[in-house]
Each structure stands twice: as C-alpha cells, then as structure tokens.
C-alpha cells in the first residue's frame, strides 16, 4: 500500500482518539464531586442530610453540633472573604493586689517624708521660750502655706492661743499632744469616709469617677479596682472616656492586671453615656458587686462638657442608682483644686474626694479646705505611682504623719 493511501487512515485514527478522550473527560467530570460553600456531602457522617445533626465524642456520647449553613444552588454567586491572620494579643498577667493594711502603712511612711515640714515648723514655734503675736503670725502663715485655708487657719490659731495660755508650759510633748488634738478636730474624724460599694436590691454599687484633665482619673480607677479586689469584691469597669486616645485600652490593661473585665467602645468619640449605660447593664447581668465608670477629663469652665457629665449620670440612673461620685483632685494644685470641686459639685452630687499626688507636695492642708467648703470628705489618697499606692484616708494617720 502506498503512502498516499495510508494518509487518510492515519488521520481517521487520530480524530477517533481525540473524540474518545473528550467523551471520557466529560463523563468523569459529571461523576466528580463539585462542592460549593455551604453544601453538604452525603458521605459526611456529621452533615449528611439523612442523619441527625449530632456528632459523637470519644466515649460515643452525642454532642451538639451547630446547624450547617443553608444549601446553595450551583448557579448562586458566592463571595469568599479574604482571610487575614489574626493579630497577636499580648496577655497581661493577673496580679495579686497588696492588702489594705500594708498599703496604709506604706502610705503613712511616704506622707511623713513629704509633709513633716509643716508639723515640725509648728512644733518649733509653739515650743519657743516666748510666744508673742509675731510667733502666732508665723503659725498662721505656715498653716496658710499648707493650703489649709484662711478660715480654718484663723480658727486653729485662736484655739491654740487659748490652750497655750491655760497650759502655761512649753513642754514639747505637751505642745505636740495639744497640736495633734486640734489638727485631728480640724480634719474632722466625724465625716463618713467609707465607700458605698455594697450590692443592694440585687444590683451592683455604681461608682462614677470625675475630674479635670491630668489629675489621674483612669489610674485612680485602676488602683481603686485593686483595692476592691483585695477586699474580695467582684468588679466591672466602664471606659466612658471616649475622647482621650488610648484611654479605654489603658483602663482595660489596669483591669486585666487584677482579672477585672472592662466594657468599652471600639469607636473613638462614641457617646460616653451609652458606654456607661452598657457597663452598668453588663454589671447587673453578671451580678457584679461594683461597677466603676471612668469619665473624660472636663475643664470646669466648659459648660457643654459639664452638661454631658450630668447626662452620663442621668442615663446610668435609668438602670441603677449612682452610689458614689468621686472627684479626683491633684493635691499639688492647691486652692485651684477647691475651685474645681465647687463647679463639679454643682453638676453632679459629689460624695467623696480622691486626693492624688499627696507625696509631691507639703500642702496637705487642702484636705481641710475642701471638706470645710463642701462638707464632702476625702475618702482616698494617692501617694505614689505604684499600682498599690492608693488607700483609704485615715484622719489620725494623716495627722501623725504630719507631726512626725
């Protein structure tokens, strides 16, 4: 057979192989399993449509399995989200707060180092051989420089004058005892300095923290959480300072250190009243003992911001009573702190003062001035940057620290 005769046969064989291959591929394609997101496999022991939607554990006991998503038709468009690696979150180790008793002793030692200039100066003046009007003027000046205030200073000087005349002695121990008694009276041990942080009516105690910028409100909330945890309180924090950058994260970090949850918004500039509301709501649902709400720093001369603070309090009261409104003041601001206290007391009813940075000033007399003006007790004092450098205010301990 010639080559020209074989050519048509060869072409026919090639075409036959091509057609046969196409048919085989088509058959295999129809038999293959085409899976769409959300479809179920008949051979899957968990998601098979004719089997109950349960799976067994290692012992064979059935365990609940979430319902699968609805079946999708092959012609439905499926949007597959892009997958990102989840960011790593650094865990904050839980710490054990220092007991309150040990904290008080440490704070007293720090207060002695920072405020004993006033006490020693008064003792030196009152123990001199001759006490005349010049000496009394110096005593009054020392009290004023300590920010005790004009009226309390005059009252103390007049009382001391009368007692010195009656005593007729310059014995240092007697002078010290006399001065201690009068200072304790001036600081006023009759004021109720306890924190109202007990559950009542099936709801948590709510503590609202207020103050101007830079006084350490968020830090105070974190430190107070440690105090309450040390007293076996179940605490929840609310980050209603939504304007200062990273304020919510800062508060959450403080809470995480002692195992306390924080309710916060991820939206910068969110409504503070809404965050406060959600925090109290969560506290009620979780049966917390105390809910503490941190607020944004407000300048006392900004009417709009102060009105907003009143709104936060009113919104909270739709769910629960606000048991404490603590005003945080920087002790180093002196009489300016007194002006702040007056304005805040007009917007929200202040129930107590937290005096921070008392170790950085010899003007501890601001305690007396604030209490005299507002009738509001100093309930907590901060004397350092450490996490446990906040403690309940103790009148006699404060006076002893000044005079030692």
- Each residue of 339-363: pLDDT tens digit? 888 888 888 899 999 988 776 555 6
User: Does 217 show up as a binding residue in the annotation?
Assistant: yes
Q: Say if residue 298 carries a ligand binding annotation.
A: yes
Backbone angles phi, psi at 118, to 5 degrees: -60, -50
pLDDT of residue 367: 83
Instruction: Determine the pLDDT at residue 237.
Output: 96
The answer to whether 359 is a known ligand-binding residue is: yes
Is 234 annotated in some ligand binding site?
no
Is there a binding annotation on residue 390? no
Cβ within 8 Å of residue 150, ≥6 positions away: 144
Identify the pLDDT of residue 288: 95
The per-residue b/e assignment along 51-61, b for 16 or more CB within 10 angstroms, e otherwise, is eeeeeeeeeee
Tell me: is residue 215 an annotated ligand-binding position: yes
User: pTM to 2 decimals?
Assistant: 0.71
| 262 marked among binding-site residues | no
> Which 8-state DSSP code applies to residue 348?
S
- Residue 313's alpha-carbon distances to 55, 275, 288, 316, 326, in angstroms, are 50, 12, 19, 5, 12
Domain boundaries, the chain: 100-187, 205-350
Please state which architecture CATH assigns to domain 100-187.
Up-down Bundle (1.20)
Ranges of residues in the chain whose predicted pLDDT is under 50 = 27, 29-91
Q: Is 214 annotated as a binding residue?
A: yes
11 burial via Cβ count (<10 Å: 0-12, 13-18, 19+):
exposed
**Residue 218 annotated as binding?**
yes
pLDDT of residue 84: 26
> 356 among the known binding-site residues?
yes
| 295 marked as part of a ligand binding site | yes
pLDDT at position 86 is: 30
Please state, as a whole number, how many other Cβ atoms lie within 10 Å of the Cβ of residue 90.
5
CATH class of 205-350: alpha beta
| Cβ atoms within 10 Å, residue 65 | 12
**In the structure encoding, which two tokens stand for residue 271, read together?**
């409504």
Q: If 0-12 CB within 10 Å is exposed, 13-18 middle and 19+ buried, where does residue 211 land?
A: buried
Specify the DSSP class assigned to residue 240: E
Q: Can you give the pLDDT at residue 71?
A: 38
Residue 324 is predicted with a pLDDT of: 96
* pLDDT the model gives residue 30: 45
pLDDT score at 31: 42
Q: Residue 160: what pLDDT?
A: 86
Instruction: Determine if residue 357 is labeled as part of a ligand binding site.
Output: yes
């Amino acid at each position: 057979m010639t080559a020209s005769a074989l050519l048509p046969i060869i072409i026919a064989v090639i075409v036959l192989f091509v057609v046969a291959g196409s048919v085989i591929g088509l058959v295999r394609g129809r038999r293959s399993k085409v899976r769409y997101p959300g479809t179920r496999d008949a051979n899957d022991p968990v998601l098979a449509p004719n089997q109950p939607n349960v799976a067994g554990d290692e012992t064979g006991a059935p365990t609940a399995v979430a319902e699968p998503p609805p079946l999708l038709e092959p012609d439905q468009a499926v949007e597959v989200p892009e997958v990102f690696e989840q960011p790593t979150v650094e865990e904050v180790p839980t710490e054990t707060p220092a007991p309150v008793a040990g904290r008080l002793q440490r704070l007293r030692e720090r207060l002695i180092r920072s405020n004993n200039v006033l006490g020693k100066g008064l003792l030196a003046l009152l123990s001199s051989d001759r006490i005349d009007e010049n000496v009394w003027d110096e005593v009054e000046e020392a009290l004023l420089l300590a920010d005790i205030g004009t009226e309390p200073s005059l009252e103390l000087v007049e009382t001391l004058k009368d007692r010195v005349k009656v005593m007729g002695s310059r014995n240092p121990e007697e002078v010290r005892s006399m001065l201690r008694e009068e200072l304790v009276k001036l600081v006023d041990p009759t004021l109720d300095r306890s924190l109202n942080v007990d559950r009542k009516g099936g709801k948590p105690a709510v503590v609202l923290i207020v103050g101007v910028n830079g006084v350490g409100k968020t830090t105070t909330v974190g430190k107070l959480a440690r105090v309450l945890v040390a007293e076996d309180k179940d605490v929840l924090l609310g980050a209603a300072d939504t304007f200062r950058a990273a304020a919510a994260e800062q508060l959450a970090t403080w809470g995480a250190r002692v195992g306390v949850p924080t309710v916060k918004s991820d939206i910068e500039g969110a409504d503070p009243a809404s965050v406060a509301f959600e925090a109290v709501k969560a506290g009620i649902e979780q049966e917390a003992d105390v809910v503490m709400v941190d607020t944004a720093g407000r300048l006392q001369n900004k009417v709009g911001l102060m009105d907003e603070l009143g709104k936060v309090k009113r919104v909270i009261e739709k769910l629960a009573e606000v048991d404490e409104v603590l005003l945080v003041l920087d002790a180093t601001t002196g009489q300016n702190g007194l002006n702040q206290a007056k304005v805040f007391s007009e917007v929200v009813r202040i129930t107590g003062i937290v005096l921070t940075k008392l170790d950085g000033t010899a003007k501890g007399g601001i305690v007396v001035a604030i209490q005299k003006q507002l009738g509001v007790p100093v309930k907590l004092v901060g004397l350092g940057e450490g996490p446990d450098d906040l403690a309940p205010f103790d009148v006699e301990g404060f006076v002893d620290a000044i005079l030692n």
